[in-house]
Every structure is written in C-alpha cells, then in structure tokens.
Amino acid sequence: MEKRKIAIFAFNSDPVVFAHALLNALDMQARGWEVKVIVEGDATKQVSLLRNETKPFANLWQKAKNVRLIDCVCRACAQKNTVVPAVVEQGLQLCGDLEGHPAIARYLEQNFEVLIF
C-alpha cells in the first residue's frame, strides 16, 4: 500500500483550531504518513505568538517544528500580520507561488490530499 500524503493548510488563528491541525499532523506522521503543514491566513499570527513557551500549545508548535512538519508560511499573510521576522527567526520557509500565497494546486499536483483547518 502506498504511503498517504497529507497537506494541512492551517488558516484559522484560533489557538484550539491551530492546535488540532498540529495534533493531527503529528499523529499522521507517527502513522508513517508524509505530512506537510502550511500556515496561511490569520494562522500566521501563531508563528509569532507560539515562540513564547508559556503560551498554550507552544509545546505542540515546537514538536511540529522539531520534526519538520512545517512546510512553509504564507508570505503575503506573514507580511500583512507583520510576522515575517518571527518566521525567519525560527528558520521557517516563506512561500508565495500564488500571488504571494502558497498554491494548493502545487500540493495536489504532488498527489497530496489537502485538509483545511
């Protein structure tokens, strides 16, 4: 059986919704699936907020980064939300192949199933 490939687009900045995107990504990776998390929209605010280890779910963010689940952060939204320095500081990649945003089609072309949180 071919390994599943999942691209999780996290748009929602609600901490609980964002945490569920990360939890599911970690679980899927633990099952041996190829998983990529793409941080989009207002969820880019979490990139800055979760640097603070006292914030709820900061540990999940750190785990996801440590196992390289974060594929990229939307360039346009990171600029709008003034979090580009936080993205760079954490060594994350900015992407914007669709007018400044990551293209979902790019992941579909690579046979990823797309989930949107």
Q: What is the rounded CA–CA span in Å between residue 70 and residue 79?
A: 18
**Which amino acid type is present at position 28?**
M
**Which amino acid type is present at position 106?**
R
Q: What is the rounded CA–CA span in Å between residue 28 and residue 6?
A: 8
* Average pLDDT over every residue of 31-58: 97
* Domain 5-116, CATH homologous superfamily name and number: DsrEFH-like (3.40.1260.10)
For residue 1, pLDDT beyond 90: no
Share of the chain above pLDDT 70, in %: 99
For residue 37, pLDDT beyond 70: yes
**Per-residue confidence at 2, pLDDT binned at 50, 70, 90?**
confident
Sheet with 94-95, side-by-side order of all strands: 94-95, 70-74, 34-39, 5-10, 113-116
For residue 6, pLDDT beyond 80: yes
Dump strand ranges (E) for 49-89.
70-74
